[in-house]
Structures are given as C-alpha cells and as structure tokens.
Amino acid sequence: MAFEGLSSRLQEITRKIRGKARITESDLKEMLREVKLALLEADVNYKIVKDFIGTIQEKALGQDVLKSLTPGQQVIKIVKDELAQLLRRNRK
C-alpha cells in the first residue's frame, strides 16, 4: 500500500536526523526525495507530487523545532497536514 511505503521511508529518514536542533536544507532535501519517490511509486500524478513537495519544502525549511518535536517529527507533521489537505481538496 502507498501509505505503508511512505511511512517506512519517513521513519528511516527520521532515524537519520534524530537529535538535531534544526532542519537543514540537506536534511529536508533527503526527506523530501524519499516522500517524492514513495508518492511516485504509488502512481500519484507527477505534477501533484511536484506541487506537494514544493509546499512542504517552503513550510519546513529552516523552521525552529517545536519543543515537543524532533526535526524529523516536525517534517512528518507538515507532510501529514499537507496530505490531509490535498486529499480533502481532491475529494470535492
């Protein structure tokens, strides 16, 4: 299933950046590459994936980590929020 692949990819990247105080551009780029690959493997339209990744990158780059979240968790939260919004938009 598409979301299982996305979930496992995000967990792997989260493990790699655990303990960092800020999300660097290279960390974000690596995470977004994995998200992009998972979505494309799930046959999501390339234009939708491109727009989705751009939105996440814009929101996540350089953000201070919330006190209760690690950098990886923060990016995953942004991805989750954007996926939910995308699905609501396409449901209409």
Set out the domains of the chain in order of their start, with CATH numbers.
2-91 (1.20.120.140)
Instruction: Give the pair of three-digit tokens for residue 62.
Output: 């350089």
Q: What's residue 51's pLDDT? A: 93
The pTM of this model reads 0.70
* Band of pLDDT at residue 64, cut at 50, 70 and 90: low
Q: Which of 57, 56, 67, 60 is nearest to 21 (CA)?
A: 67
**What pLDDT, in 10s, does the model give residues 24-45?**
778 778 888 888 888 888 888 9
* Band of pLDDT at residue 47, cut at 50, 70 and 90: very high
Is residue 69 a contact partner of residue 88, using CB atoms and an 8 Å limit?
A: no
Amino acid of residue 46 = Y
